[in-house]
């Protein structure tokens, strides 16, 4: 049994066999062979070796025939040398005969040791050997498994997905009845892959560094997304304990279901609005199921996660019409395209950047690509004639940017007027407050907007200079940092002074540990992952506004994030023991 600690991604417990995407998305059908089949399986492995060698010779001949550089021939020779290494044949055959492993699993065990050895070496020669070894390993899998391969879109059996990283589009295609959880080497707790996992209710742990090389396909794996733990090949006692924990987590979810039809009102009668963040119109089914007040953040760039084309006016309007219809009168806040950084899903021609989070992204990208921006604005305006629609501009850093965005919107309105197309002339306009400069000049921006939406995911990373998807600095990503809390309070105060609605749509708003604190700071509109609406509602219904103000005043007096978190954990445990007490705090502070 081996325990790996990473970053909590999506809460819950998943238990199942590993599907290692680092092995070209192959999943081994079986781990062990039947008694008496040893000779047959050794023969299958040896035939796979022969087929791989024949493949490499064919590649070598083809390269020579077309006059390819000598480098190609040398690479093939290295691969042939590795393939003919007697150690490979001897050790794999021994694992088949003595341990009863299938050839696929034995090959995985063999190469796992060498992958770990070479992967960490900085020397260029050894780095190249790591790539060579991976190539040989995958070539053997192809021969052994042939067409018997599965990917996360066509799974036939429930698995735990293990990968170096997953794109949001890969996560979006996961079927929750087949993917029991996932673990990745890269990523942070607010990466869009993790956000997607929370939305789908899939337990996840990220930032595990070497997880792909630490296990083999078919190994039994436990994912504890609440604590950020992955357990490889658990013993019977550990397995039973986590099976019980999985059942307890399901019971808590059932308890929360009883709150669905109850209003989000504090004990002293203060009403709070609970909206949902979504990626796709189909998620509105969850918004309705959990009785959300509407959609507070529609991330439109993920509507086109297949990466085949850029959004068009038609594709936008169809998505918005569907969302409006499914919302049945509830409000829909549509964020304009936020391409860039970790959200660039299609080829826009922008090219790679050394630091994409500080570069050509979001509203900056839209200003440069009016051929994409204007069609979306046209679609949003046309949709505004069909329901309660609001426009949300992301990554506004200055008054000039806001005025420019509004000027482009007016141009689009004039175009629609000229075409006789109806729209809501008073469609509400808001901005994401996610850059420190926007916090500082919130009072200057307020007269030009109808509402603010605080995006804590980016606000935290820009305020603290912490890449939110970099596992190496994950410990520095602290929502409870005094600078972050003061920024949130300032925007809420400006909203109150200027009579502008203030929402908070970052992942911080969906963490129940911070709910009372945010209420005490004056937040009245939360926008969260649909599946946590009832969890946040439970906290809201358990406190009074006076309780919340007392908590906020105390928390704002601390100078260190860890002191804030410790205070919140202790105070919430006292105030709401049924949520933060003996059964664990539901979720760790993120």
DSSP per residue over 142-201, as a string? HHHHTT----TTS-SS-EEEEES---HHHHHT--TTTEEEEEESS--TTSHHHHHHHHHT
Residue 265 included in any domain? no
Nearest CA to 190 out of 399, 526, 572, 471 is that of: 471
Residue 586 included in any domain? no
Question: Same domain, yes or no, for 397 and 358?
Answer: yes
What's the rounded Cα separation, in Å, for the pair 371 and 170?
A: 28
Question: Same domain, yes or no, for 493 and 431?
Answer: yes
Please tell me the predicted confidence (pLDDT) of residue 588. 42
**Residue 112 belongs to domain with CATH number:** 1.10.274.10
Please tell me the predicted confidence (pLDDT) of residue 125. 47
Asked if 169 contacts 196 with a C-beta cutoff of 8 angstroms, the reply is no
The domain in which residue 12 lies consists of 2-26+151-253
Nearest CA to 220 out of 22, 28, 5, 24 is that of: 28
**Residue 443 belongs to domain with CATH number:** 3.20.20.60
Residue finishing a domain among 128, 145, 162 = 145
What's the rounded Cα separation, in Å, for the pair 70 and 76?
A: 10
Please tell me the predicted confidence (pLDDT) of residue 584. 41
Residue 175 included in any domain? yes
- Domains in the chain, number: 3
Please tell me the predicted confidence (pLDDT) of residue 47. 94
Residue 584 included in any domain? no
Q: Are strands 179-184 and 159-163 parallel, antiparallel or unpaired?
A: parallel
Helix 124-145 and helix 38-65: axis angle, to 10°? 120
Sign of the alpha-carbon dihedral angle for 277, 279, 281, 282: negative
Contacts of 228 (CB under 8 A, 6+ apart): 5, 6, 7, 8, 9, 205, 588
For the question of whether the overall pTM of this predicted structure is more than 0.75, the answer is no
Q: Are strands 389-393 and 332-335 parallel, antiparallel or unpaired?
A: parallel
Sign of the alpha-carbon dihedral angle for 196, 566, 487, 266: positive
Residue 33 included in any domain? no
Question: Same domain, yes or no, for 16 and 136?
Answer: no
Helix 86-99 and helix 38-65: axis angle, to 10°? 160
Question: Same domain, yes or no, for 311 and 327?
Answer: yes
Please tell me the predicted confidence (pLDDT) of residue 23. 46
Reported in sequence order, the residue ranges of 370-415 that DSSP labels E, i.e. its strands, are: 389-393
Residue 259 included in any domain? no
Cα 331 to the center of its chain, rounded Å: 25
| φ/ψ of residue 272, rounded to 5 | -125, 140
Question: Same domain, yes or no, for 538 and 398?
Answer: yes
What is the SS3 assignment for 235?
coil
Task: Kindly list the distances between the CA atom of residue 396 and the CA atoms of 23, 358, 400, 415, in Å, as whole numbers in the listed order.
Answer: 42, 13, 9, 25
Cα 307 to the center of its chain, rounded Å: 17
Of 79, 105, 192, 481, the catalytic one is: 192
**Residue 235 belongs to domain with CATH number:** 3.50.30.10
Question: Same domain, yes or no, for 161 and 193?
Answer: yes
Question: Same domain, yes or no, for 127 and 202?
Answer: no
Mean pLDDT in order along the chain per 10 residues (590 residues): 86 90 56 87 94 85 63 70 88 93 89 67 51 77 70 76 73 76 81 72 86 83 89 92 83 72 95 93 88 94 60 88 96 88 49 60 87 94 97 96 97 97 97 97 98 95 83 82 98 98 94 96 95 91 96 97 95 86 43
Question: Same domain, yes or no, for 89 and 164?
Answer: no
Question: Same domain, yes or no, for 299 and 439?
Answer: yes
Please tell me the predicted confidence (pLDDT) of residue 49. 94
What's the rounded Cα separation, in Å, for the pair 161 and 25?
A: 9
Question: Same domain, yes or no, for 141 and 155?
Answer: no
Active-site annotation holds for 192: yes
Please tell me the predicted confidence (pLDDT) of residue 516. 97
Active-site annotation holds for 505: yes
Question: Same domain, yes or no, for 158 and 244?
Answer: yes
Question: Same domain, yes or no, for 403 and 530?
Answer: yes
Quote the tokens at residue 46: 């040896």
Residue 124 included in any domain? yes
Q: Which residue has the tokens 């007096």?
A: 557
Quote the tokens at residue 516: 């009372």
- Residues in the chain, total: 590
Contacts of 486 (CB under 8 A, 6+ apart): 556
What's the rounded Cα separation, in Å, for the pair 446 and 449?
A: 5
Residue 577 included in any domain? no
Task: Kindly list the distances between the CA atom of residue 499 and the CA atoms of 256, 447, 452, in Å, as whole numbers in the listed order.
Answer: 34, 10, 11
């Amino acid at each position: 049994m081996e325990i790996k600690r990473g970053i909590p991604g999506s809460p819950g417990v998943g238990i199942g066999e590993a599907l290692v995407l680092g092995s070209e998305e192959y999943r081994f059908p079986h781990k062990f062979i039947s008694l008496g089949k040893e000779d047959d399986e050794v023969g299958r492995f040896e035939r796979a070796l022969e087929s791989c060698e024949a493949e490499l010779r064919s590649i070598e001949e083809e390269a020579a025939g077309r006059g390819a550089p000598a480098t190609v021939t040398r690479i093939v020779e290295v691969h042939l040398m590795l393939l003919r290494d007697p150690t490979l044949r001897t050790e794999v055959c021994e694992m088949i005969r003595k341990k009863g492993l299938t050839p696929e699993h034995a090959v995985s065990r063999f190469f796992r040791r060498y992958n770990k050895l070479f992967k960490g070496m900085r020397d260029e020669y050894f780095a190249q050997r790591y790539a060579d070894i991976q190539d040989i390993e995958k070539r053997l899998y192809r021969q052994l498994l042939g067409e018997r391969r599965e990917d996360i879109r066509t799974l036939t059996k429930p698995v735990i997905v293990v990968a170096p990283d997953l794109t949001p589009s890969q996560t979006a295609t996961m079927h929750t009845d087949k993917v029991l959880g996932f673990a990745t080497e890269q990523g942070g707790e607010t990466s869009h892959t993790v956000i997607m996992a929370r939305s789908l209710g899939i337990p996840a742990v990220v930032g595990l560094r070497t997880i792909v090389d630490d296990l083999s396909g078919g190994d039994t794996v436990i994912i504890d997304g609440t604590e950020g733990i992955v357990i490889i090949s658990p013993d019977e006692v550990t397995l039973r304990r986590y099976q019980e924990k999985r059942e307890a987590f399901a019971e808590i979810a059932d308890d929360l279901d009883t709150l669905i039809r109850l209003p989000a009102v504090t004990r002293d009668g203060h009403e709070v609005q609970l909206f949902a963040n979504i990626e796709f119109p189909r998620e509105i089914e969850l918004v309705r199921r959990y009785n959300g007040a509407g959609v507070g953040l529609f991330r439109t760039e993920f509507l086109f996660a297949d990466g085949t084309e850029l959004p068009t006016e038609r594709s936008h309007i169809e998505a918005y019409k569907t969302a409006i219809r499914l919302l049945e009168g509830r409000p829909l806040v549509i964020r304009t395209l936020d391409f860039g950084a970790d959200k660039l899903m299609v080829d826009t021609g922008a090219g790679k950047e050394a630091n994409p989070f500080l570069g050509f992204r979001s509203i900056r990208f839209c200003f440069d690509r009016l051929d994409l921006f204007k069609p979306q604005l046209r679609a949003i305006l046309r949709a505004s004639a069909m329901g309660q629609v609001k426009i949300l501009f992301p990554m506004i850093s200055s008054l000039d940017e806001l005025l420019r965005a509004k000027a482009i919107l007016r141009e689009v309105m004039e175009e629609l007027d000229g075409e006789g197309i109806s729209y809501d002339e008073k469609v509400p306009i808001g901005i994401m407050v996610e850059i420190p400069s926007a916090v500082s000049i919130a009072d200057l921006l307020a007269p030009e907007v109808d509402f603010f939406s605080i995006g804590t995911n980016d606000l935290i990373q820009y305020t603290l200079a912490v890449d939110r998807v970099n596992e190496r600095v994950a410990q520095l990503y602290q929502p409870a940092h005094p600078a972050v809390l003061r920024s949130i309070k300032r925007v809420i105060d400006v909203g109150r002074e200027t009579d502008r609605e203030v929402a908070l749509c970052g992942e911080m708003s969906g963490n129940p540990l911070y709910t009372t604190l945010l209420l005490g700071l004056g937040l009245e509109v939360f926008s969260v992952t649909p599946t946590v609406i009832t969890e946040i509602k439970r906290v809201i219904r358990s406190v009074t506004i006076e309780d919340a103000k007392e908590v906020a005043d105390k928390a704002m007096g601390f100078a260190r994030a860890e002191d804030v978190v410790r205070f919140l954990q202790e105070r919430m445990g006292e105030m709401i023991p049924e949520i933060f007490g003996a059964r664990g705090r539901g979720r760790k502070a993120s």
